[in-house]
Chain A
């Protein structure tokens, strides 16, 4: 086989040629993996080959080493590790050799593949010479080789966790990188690669950052790089500062003054990409201090791990004016442009973060700016003043803001009706929304919305909903928060007298010709949803009247025939919004018995419509419809059985949707709803559902986040059908066991991985719990006995790892109880041997979390019964 030809054909425009090439590549891979990989690495390394075949060779290599999906990734890692060392050495040799290639794309591809191999091998103490061989003679290499080496180091730092590289190597990497960044480096590409590499390598520099001398050196070089004549380098250098601000916040004291000066200059004078990073530095500092101060607040002892240095507070007198300046640099049409992100937007956002950080102190610094500019003839000044006002509404204590808001409210309502400029109106409506979001609601002592002004506010907002789309959208947003303020009211709310008008106005907005702009239609439906969700009991009749109205709208979308692909997309979006709205209405009405009863008259029709919406598509199901069906199943309870036959094909389709994993996830959740609604009536559909769920679990394509809920779903099914789950045990139990195995390997890699591992654990534990409880009191409980040792070991291993979250703790200790409860005395000796039944249980019993304690109480009881025999 001529590999180059095949690799080029695999990128051919002609589908047949491409397919054939892909097939032969696959065949080659399946027949002889080592020689396939060798061949690809040879291709990548060969400077005589076309760049496109080399790039694809590298890409396939990369994909043979890593996958997004966790199980798949695990398999690939195992596969690589088990390859013949001689083959691997040869491949790695080719990769390193490619770094010196004169072809930039080949070098860059090789860099990424090397990082992937390093990601697998370094944690296993393999390829120890990698870093050394990359760094040897770096100074004698030509610039392009140096650049590729630095880029590779950057990728490696991104790929591997910092604890697998020993400090000596970290030191040599950092030395090389920082030297590459130095102003003495003549080649800008090298300097850029070094600066970007540093950004990734910062996580490795923990120890170096504790040494004053080393830290000073790194900081000096980074700060110098922000002054480089090359804009890309300045941008990358500021990006380093952003990373440093979040990673080494506590080490910044001695540099913050200089950084402030550099950043201020960049914000005022530099090109936008650099200025944006400079603002981001301060936003990032705000993020850090908000987190630290939040921790202070939660813990009265006041000892947070990281002390707050109050950088923002100290910089306030100079920082705020700088940010206020940026507010005046609006772009003309930024409110119409969805993708816009410019300096005034970044500055305004940063101002909002500053307000959350320093709270009350921001008010006197911004107030003069607002007063001075709010009535100026130049719209930029009025808009900047309004935006500044809106920005500082979150953070300061309500009593600091109330006096200003009470004065400003009328001004704002007036501006929203009368200001000639759309930007001003946009920001005014947004600011009103912020007022309602933060200063209105059951927790605020003196309400700003009163009997006296409620009507005026609503009149203005409903009027603004007829304004241009971007203004109308913000008016909807303001109404959203206005309604949300009443979410705790039960029987009556100030909005009730206007409820009908509000609903009518929102429906009118959804039907506007231009409702597709500025996501106005979406905003209107979202607001309608919130208005319904937060409505008081007295307006239930209106909510009920809304059911046929929304059904009619949904029906119209279903009727439409012969749509163009663009119309089809619009139909799809509209159906989503309408199903979302029905979901909220069903939940609202389903929440209490009398209103549920009222809703039930529509249940058949609503379900009929949902089925027709499903039928509009061929291969996929609508996520929103699925969500709404979950709500419907919960509301109708076992009555839902009558829809099952017709609904089942779509349920299956949803479970098969690997590509849109959210759809799959929602559908899995709906299976849970159905189990609880139908109980044993779901039995006839379980063969199909279980088959699908098992396929999902075995799939490498399905997004990993869906797998934990699938396990939980096993538990739901077992709980619903009890001992009938027997026939699925031989499939489900090994899956659970395998996943438990994987979870012991994945935990602790990093925060994200630990979070996923905990989700996975929770799913596995919930599955076991459901199975045990489902089998309980059946003679078939004995079938579960063989699984008990492994499950107890799993509980022990989770406990010993000490990295579980509260949810897992609760589920795990509950499972101990379920196992003991179901197996009883037979499992007594096993249980008494498990660590989980002693120390873990003891810890949970004294937990502050009442859910954990509740589960632990259960476990203690069940365990004591089982152990006593």
Chain B
């Protein structure tokens, strides 16, 4: 208990230069550890689990080293993609890649069960469906076919060359949007990657929650400015109960509606066609119920685009493809069309039947090659929906009724739910 030493630093800095350098070194190490940790987290999670249809495509190299033993086909890692690498792609490669990244809703042919409990509904903005990617301090939007729509600065993370750096270069975002021309706004309908973190395998419930809480934080929803050329906006998403369905169908929104989208709450973001997201339209909520031709007219006969496959098969874009008919051998010989080409056909009303809930087409009339901008054939559900829309459309009343009835069922079956 001797007196304590009183000496305070005199005419000298309180810490030595060596101590300062030691502390700076520790700080540098901690910073680098954090960067390494962050990179591990984002890189690992940016490996998007893609359902690619062409396993020989050169991008389909697994992340693991060559020579590593092949994993079972069902392992999603087998088709790992690195979105960061993909973001460096240019030209046609980039188009090809991005063309296959969107989740494409099937058309609603019949009402799924438990619509009111397991589904969200929202009014789809009319406009161009696209992917918006912010990375390397710029933002690019790409249409469904992979081509670039806009290249612009945005307030999304790492989306513009602003002074405040929003994170390391590998921080990027991918949003699923619809660009709405009249108000020059990107309506965000889904979030795929955020700040480098992948949301591919998160449920729609979580993705919408995340979208709602994160997007506004960034200022991306603010009016346009120098470093933020287009406004982003969120669409109101409802539980698909009676009120929600009504609000989505009849409620006022700042954008032109193009039908309703239904998302299953528990479904992950799945690229390509999926029955866990559905689109439905009628004249009330969409100007585009029936397909139009290049002049904007509804043709008298239903038009479909199908892909020519081996053995003259004409198939939809589904996975696996649904064969809807065969190309006439004469036409094939005369035209010298190659497999993989997208072809346009007209369908005679009489040539279509619905058997056991399945669409069968007896007679397709070749009408020529499809527009070059098309990247995919029509899906089976689209062909089906277009057909019923012309004959016996699924009406909003059917949807409402279904929500009603499943609400009833719910109260009956609640006991059973409890003991499960």
Task: Tell me, yes or no, whether A676 is within 8 Å of chain B by CB.
Answer: yes
Task: Tell me, yes or no, whether A814 is within 8 Å of chain B by CB.
Answer: yes
The list of the 7 closest CB pairs from A to B, nearest first, reads: A526-B17, A773-B40, A196-B1, A864-B206, A341-B7, A430-B11, A868-B203
Contact assessment for B21 and A627 in the assembled complex, using a CB-CB cutoff below 8 Å: yes
Task: Tell me, yes or no, whether A631 is within 8 Å of chain B by CB.
Answer: yes
Task: Tell me, yes or no, whether B8 is within 8 Å of chain A by CB.
Answer: yes
Q: A283-B8, A627-B21, A865-B202 are in contact. Are A858 and B41 (CB under 8 A)?
A: yes
Contact assessment for A341 and B10 in the assembled complex, using a CB-CB cutoff below 8 Å: yes
Q: Contacting chain A: which of B25-33, B329-337, B340-348? A: B25-33
Question: Which residues of B pack against A, CB within 8 Å?
Answer: 1, 3-4, 6-8, 10-13, 16-18, 21-22, 25-26, 28-29, 32-34, 36-38, 40-41, 44-45, 47, 63-64, 77, 195, 197, 199, 201-203, 206, 210, 214, 266
Contact assessment for B21 and A199 in the assembled complex, using a CB-CB cutoff below 8 Å: no
Contact assessment for A777 and B21 in the assembled complex, using a CB-CB cutoff below 8 Å: no
Name 25 interchain pairs, CB-CB below 8 A, sorted by A: A154-B1, A197-B1, A236-B3, A276-B6, A529-B21, A576-B18, A627-B21, A662-B22, A672-B33, A673-B32, A716-B36, A770-B37, A773-B40, A776-B40, A777-B44, A777-B77, A818-B41, A821-B45, A851-B34, A857-B214, A861-B197, A861-B206, A861-B210, A864-B203, A868-B202
Closest-by-CB residue of A relative to B207 is A864
Q: Which residues of A in the span 767-799 have a Cβ within 8 Å of any Cβ on B?
A: 769-770, 773-774, 776-777
- Chain A residue numbers with a CB within 8 Å of B77 are 777
Contact assessment for A341 and B6 in the assembled complex, using a CB-CB cutoff below 8 Å: yes
Contact assessment for B195 and A474 in the assembled complex, using a CB-CB cutoff below 8 Å: no
A858 vs B199: C-alpha distance when bound (angstroms):
11
Task: Tell me, yes or no, whether A200 is within 8 Å of chain B by CB.
Answer: yes
A624 vs B6: C-alpha distance when bound (angstroms):
30
Q: Which residues of A in the span 840-859 have a Cβ within 8 Å of any Cβ on B?
A: 851, 854, 857-858
Task: Tell me, yes or no, whether A273 is within 8 Å of chain B by CB.
Answer: yes
- Chain A residue numbers with a CB within 8 Å of B40 are 719, 773-774, 776
Encode contact with B along A274-290: 1 for CB under 8 Å, 0 otherwise.
00110010010000000
Select A277's contact among B3, B10, B17, B266, beta carbons within 8 Å.
B3
A799 vs B217: C-alpha distance when bound (angstroms):
27
Closest-by-CB residue of A relative to B197 is A861
Contact assessment for B21 and A349 in the assembled complex, using a CB-CB cutoff below 8 Å: no
Select B29's contact among A477, A580, A672, beta carbons within 8 Å.
A672
Contact assessment for A857 and B195 in the assembled complex, using a CB-CB cutoff below 8 Å: yes
Q: Which residues of A in the span 693-729 have a Cβ within 8 Å of any Cβ on B?
A: 712, 715-716, 719
A770 vs B36: C-alpha distance when bound (angstroms):
9
Q: A529-B21, A666-B25, A861-B210 are in contact. Are A349 and B36 (CB under 8 A)?
A: no
Contact assessment for A868 and B33 in the assembled complex, using a CB-CB cutoff below 8 Å: no
Contact assessment for A349 and B32 in the assembled complex, using a CB-CB cutoff below 8 Å: no
Closest-by-CB residue of A relative to B167 is A854
A658 vs B36: C-alpha distance when bound (angstroms):
29
A576 vs B3: C-alpha distance when bound (angstroms):
34
- Chain B residue numbers with a CB within 8 Å of A624 are 18
Task: Tell me, yes or no, whether A669 is within 8 Å of chain B by CB.
Answer: yes
Encode contact with B along A573-589: 1 for CB under 8 Å, 0 otherwise.
00010001001100100
A91 vs B266: C-alpha distance when bound (angstroms):
69
Contact assessment for A773 and B202 in the assembled complex, using a CB-CB cutoff below 8 Å: no
A867 vs B29: C-alpha distance when bound (angstroms):
33
Contact assessment for B10 and A345 in the assembled complex, using a CB-CB cutoff below 8 Å: yes
- Chain A residue numbers with a CB within 8 Å of B21 are 529, 580, 583-584, 627
Q: A154-B1, A283-B8, A821-B44 are in contact. Are A631 and B25 (CB under 8 A)?
A: yes
Q: How far is the CB of B46 from chain A (nearest CB, A)?
A: 12
Task: Tell me, yes or no, whether A235 is within 8 Å of chain B by CB.
Answer: yes
- Chain A residue numbers with a CB within 8 Å of B195 are 854, 857
- Chain A residue numbers with a CB within 8 Å of B8 are 283, 346, 349
Contact assessment for B18 and A861 in the assembled complex, using a CB-CB cutoff below 8 Å: no
Contact assessment for A821 and B203 in the assembled complex, using a CB-CB cutoff below 8 Å: no
Select A676's contact among B4, B22, B32, beta carbons within 8 Å.
B32
Contact assessment for B1 and A200 in the assembled complex, using a CB-CB cutoff below 8 Å: yes
Task: Tell me, yes or no, whether A151 is within 8 Å of chain B by CB.
Answer: yes
Task: Tell me, yes or no, whether A630 is within 8 Å of chain B by CB.
Answer: yes
Closest-by-CB residue of B relative to A722 is B40
Q: How far is the CB of B190 from chain A (nearest CB, A)?
A: 15
Task: Tell me, yes or no, whether A766 is within 8 Å of chain B by CB.
Answer: yes
Contact assessment for A634 and B32 in the assembled complex, using a CB-CB cutoff below 8 Å: yes
A474 vs B12: C-alpha distance when bound (angstroms):
9
